[in-house]
A = this chain, B = another copy of it.
Amino acid sequence: MKLMIHQTHHQTSDFKGVLKSLVNLFNQKNLENKEPEPTLHLFPENFLTGYPLKDLCLQKSFIDSYMKLIDDLNNLSLSYFDQRPEDVKGHSLLIGGLDYNFDKQGLPTQIKNVIFELTPGEKLKSVYTKRLLPNYDIYDERKYFAPGNELKIWNFQGKNILLLICEDMWPSHFYKVDPIQEAYELCKKENLSLDLVINLSASPFHLNKLEKRVIRAQEISKQLNAPMAYCNRVGGEDEILFDGGSFITDHHKILCQGKVFEKDCLVIDLDKSETKTPTTSQEKIDPPLSSKEKVNTWEWFFDPQLDKTATPTKLNGLSDEDCKVILQALKFGIQEYSEKCGLNNFIVALSGGIDSALVLTLMKLFLKEGQKVEALYMPGFYSANLSWELSSELCKNLDIPLYQLPIKFIHSTVRNSFRESFQSELEGLADENIQSRLRGSFLYARSNQTNAMVLNTSNKSELAVGYSTLYGDSVGAISPLGDIYKSEVFTIARYINKQYKDIIPEKIISRPPTAELREGQEDSQSLPPYERLDAILEGLLSYRMSPNELVNLGHDSKEVSKVFHLYQKSEFKRFQFCPIIKLKAKSFGFGYRIPLSHKRVE
């Protein structure tokens, strides 16, 4: 039996694209094999529709187009079999999709996240419904889908194949059932041996996720004594990336693995001896861990990157490998988003600081043929000459056009207008923020002129403490650094400089961070040093620690209290922020939901 894992890359609701790819498959040489070999084709979870759909799956226009796709696929299957029965014999497809129930008025009453079997000559047939519907963090599956309640051991060419969809392999305290444990018990009871475990997934990327998936699959393969095939999709859905990396593992042996952030197709013949499972006797199977023994706390899910042995706790640094993966992910995320928005120009506002310098450098590294990026430097009264010099040097290194649009004169004009209109001076916070907002406005005016996508330059630390001006430096279409702490920004910059011969001027990395909105301003005047700030923030955000706990872990109580206060009062800025490319297990964005206004907790 041949297995083909189709690691696909389609936009959400790209029904025409999905149909075309299946037509192509049916037309392929491998379906015209003169001596047909039984082949099982796997496609990811929700391949037919895309994922996550959110409310889209409830809209009639979406549903109508989807139902048309289903009809087209049924016709395709019937007609190919009619025309070339011998060519398609022995082939079968397992495809992730949605199964709708409607009321009399045609409104959806129930949607199931299912695996369809598509055997040439037959219509699509739902063979399995996803049982564990994740509903924590970025997941809202209980909002849209009804869970299945039956284990499915599906038969193909005499083989016993356990079917799973994504979360089904991750039983936890959220769920009452454990499909893996159930399968283990069923096999034992009925003296059944499994030939294959299949998991069709749409599994979002974050750092270390790929390893986590493989380890878990190896565990399951060992427990159920059968190879496990994991088929994941590729795609960027606003904040959330799907990284592919599909694989087949037999116990601990990885038989093959797909590319990351790229479509791919894995082919393997499972009947060849090298792919046989090493242990076949029941005695050698380790009893599976029951879900209750697993660590299923928020800590396990959100993988806080804290060194708790240090006093005070320290943020775990990014390794070179982490940096490499982050760059891959950001490139993919930005390219996906800009493609869907139909934009090939990019623009970044440079301040002379590290965040904007890194974003610009990354964008240059990410450019595809036909794409352009430009930089805009908008000096004001408090901008140091050094900021201009460093921005020029950076753009020269990167070979990127740099425009200068001074805001001093306009700023003066606005000050005068305020004096005239309100008989009051523009000063303090009002005078600081107006500079940032003028810059935001001009950046967008330029983006309107050149049809360019504005890349936001805020980092996770700033976002967490609200160290930015709403509608000012917080503007942008998408945020590449919004899931990267300031101390990690430095690490990534140094990583890039190692790879690309100090392309970012060293001085940009080493000068003290400042917003340059008033005379002599430095971040360190209002914030703790970034390494301490970031350790506190990771505790608050990923561990959901209380200030007390942080103090017990050795942090200064005044510092913790200040950070917690800034964090609580800046929710309104995060509320109006652009999509953040998700890189970590716990991020701001869709999976982070805090009331804007509530009585502050100490």
Q: Which of A193-201, A252-260, A420-428, A522-530 contacts B (4 or more CB under 8 A)?
A: A420-428
Contact: B444 with A441, CB < 8 Å? Answer: no
Known: A421-B405, A575-B579. A601 touches B437 (CB 8 A): no
| Beta-carbon contact of B441 and A595 below 8 Å | no
Question: Could you tell me the distance in whole angstroms from the C-beta of A21 to the nearest C-beta in chain B?
Answer: 13
Instruction: Give min CB distance, A262 to chain B, whole Å.
Output: 19
Using C-beta atoms within 8 Å of the partner chain, give the interface range for chain A: 35 or more
Chain B hits for A297, CB < 8 A: 103, 105, 107, 109
Give the contacting residue for A577; candidates B52, B143, B337, B576; CB below 8 A: B576
Question: Which of B62, B546, B595 is close to A237, meaning CB atoms less than 8 Å apart?
Answer: B595
Residue of B nearest to A475 (CB): B471
A595-B53 in contact (CB<8A): yes
Cβ-defined contact, A598 with B12, below 8 A: yes
Any B CB within 8 A of the CB of A316? no
A310 within 8 A of B: no
- A417 and B421 form a contact (CB under 8 A): no
Q: Report the minimal beta-carbon distance from A543 to chain B, rounded to whole angstroms.
A: 8
Interchain CB contact under 8 A, B576 and A578: yes
Are A105 and B448 closer than 8 Å at their CB atoms? no
**Is there an interface contact between B448 and A58, defined as CB atoms closer than 8 Å?**
no
Q: Report yes or no: A59 in contact with B140, Cβ–Cβ below 8 A.
A: no
Of the 9-residue stretches A90-98, A152-160, A211-219, A407-415, which lies at the interface with chain B?
Answer: A407-415
Find A14's partner among B50, B577, B599 (CB 8 Å cutoff).
B599
A428 to B445, CA, bound (A): 10
- Chain B: minimal CB distance from A576 (Å): 5
The answer to whether the Cβ of A396 comes within 8 Å of any Cβ in the partner chain is no
Residues of chain B lying within 8 A (CB to CB) of residue A110:
173
Residue of B nearest to A539 (CB): B60
- Interface pair A546/B64, CB less than 8 Å apart: yes
For the complex, what is the distance from the CA of A409 to the CA of B298, rounded to whole Å?
55
Q: Out of B13, B135, B421, B579, name the residue touching A599 (CB < 8 Å).
A: B13
Asked whether, in the complex, the Cβ of B471 is within 8 Å of the Cβ of A547, the reply is: no
Q: Mark A552-583, 1 if CB is under 8 A from B, else 0.
A: 00000000000010000000100111110000
| Interface residue? A54 (CB, 8 A) | yes
Give the chain B neighbours of A52 by CB distance below 8 A.
595
| A60-87 contact mask (Cβ, 8 Å, vs B): 1 or 0 | 1111110000000000000000000000
Known: A405-B421, A417-B405. A11 touches B598 (CB 8 A): yes
Provide 16 A-B residue pairs closer than 8 Å at the C-beta atoms, listed in order of the A residue.
Answer: A12-B597, A15-B599, A50-B599, A55-B592, A61-B546, A65-B601, A103-B297, A109-B296, A237-B598, A410-B417, A417-B442, A418-B442, A424-B449, A426-B445, A434-B444, A437-B445
Question: Residues on A close to B: CB < 8 A?
Answer: 11-15, 17, 50, 52-56, 58-65, 103, 105, 107-110, 135-136, 140, 142-143, 173, 237-238, 296-299, 336-337, 340-341, 403-406, 409-410, 413-414, 417-418, 421-422, 424, 426, 428-430, 433-434, 437-438, 440-442, 444-446, 448-449, 470-471, 475, 477, 543-549, 564, 572, 575-579, 592-602
